[in-house]
């Protein structure tokens, strides 16, 4: 692992696959022109619409999203994370899938979201991700000599610290948390959750995000961020419009924080999560 620039892209995706991919390409191009070698896209980057429509179009979305990620990675000679898109699964449902591609356009890792967002929020919105999504059951890390060891997750996973501790047990140095966090929960929880995962695991956190109004009453919080292992916010894309949070991932900083705060060495309880 060596120092490199990473980008957490912030998008306002809508129920229009072609439009979303065009928006994503524009931000990938922007990030590459800033010198980024790792570009991360948020959950639902390819399609942000009603769940029934997303499931109906899942095969098309998956095929186009994966072709797009491979093409962009190869064209721009960067690593790209597609932070979440539907892949047809079991019983008419889909897997909420994140995939990482290398500069040759090859898939390096694929993660299926484990924790599904089934909640009734005080603002009157109800979410039942499990109605259309099958839960994944495997932890995923990806070790690469240029990037270090990345631990993959998606959105609601951020509320489950045992997942990230298990990724760290597998060597994770950078935690990937692409999201489409609701405006209501994001206001109070997004930043503190990201900082908690960074601090307790002494890891970098890269969190691309959705922002603004997408369809009907669906509104996202934004604030795509990159945080260092001390929990400091290195970059924040804000909460109003699409953009990019760009910051350096520095292995020397990682090692320095882990020396100063060796909490991972002081653990007394083993994690029970298995793959």
Catalytic site positions? 43, 113, 155
Distance CA 98, CA 42 (A): 9
Which residues, listed in sequence order, are joined to residue 133 by a DSSP beta bridge?
Answer: 94
Beta strands of 50-167 (E only): which ranges? 79-88, 94-101, 107-112, 118-120, 126-128, 141-144, 148-152
Distance CA 73, CA 96 (A): 21
Q: Which helix (H) or strand (E) holds 245?
A: strand 243-249
Instruction: Return the biggest CA–CA distance within the chain.
Output: 51
Distance CA 136, CA 6 (A): 26
Under the phi-then-psi rule, with left for phi > 0, alpha for psi from -120 to 50, and beta for the rest, what region is 197? alpha
Beta strands of 105-242 (E only): which ranges? 107-112, 118-120, 126-128, 141-144, 148-152, 174-176, 204-207, 209-215, 218-221, 225-227, 233-236
């Amino acid at each position: 692992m060596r120092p490199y620039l990473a980008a957490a892209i912030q998008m306002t995706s809508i129920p229009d696959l072609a439009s979303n991919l065009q928006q994503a390409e524009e931000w990938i191009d922007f990030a590459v022109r800033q010198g980024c070698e790792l570009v991360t896209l948020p959950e639902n980057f390819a399609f942000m619409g009603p769940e029934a429509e997303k499931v109906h179009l899942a095969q098309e979305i998956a095929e186009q999203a994966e072709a797009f990620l491979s093409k962009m990675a190869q064209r721009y000679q960067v690593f790209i994370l597609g932070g979440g898109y539907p892949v047809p699964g079991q019983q008419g449902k889909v897997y909420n899938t994140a995939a990482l591609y290398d500069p040759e356009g090859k898939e390096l890792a694929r993660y299926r979201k484990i924790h599904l967002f089934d909640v009734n929020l005080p603002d009157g919105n109800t979410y039942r991700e499990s109605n259309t999504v099958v839960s994944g059951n495997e932890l995923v890390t990806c070790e690469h000599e240029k990037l270090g060891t990345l631990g993959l997750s998606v959105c609601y996973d951020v509320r489950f610290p045992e997942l990230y501790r298990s990724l760290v047990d597998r060597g994770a140095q950078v935690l990937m948390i692409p999201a489409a966090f609701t405006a209501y929960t994001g206001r109070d929880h997004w930043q503190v959750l990201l900082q908690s995962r960074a601090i307790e695991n002494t890891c970098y956190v890269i969190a691309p995000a959705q922002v603004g109004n997408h369809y009907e009453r669906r509104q996202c919080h934004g604030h795509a961020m990159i945080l260092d292992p001390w929990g400091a916010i290195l970059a924040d894309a804000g909460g109003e419009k699409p953009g990019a949070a760009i910051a350096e991932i520095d292995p020397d900083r990682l090692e320095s924080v882990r020396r100063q705060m060796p909490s991972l060495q002081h653990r007394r309880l083993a994690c029970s999560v298995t793959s």
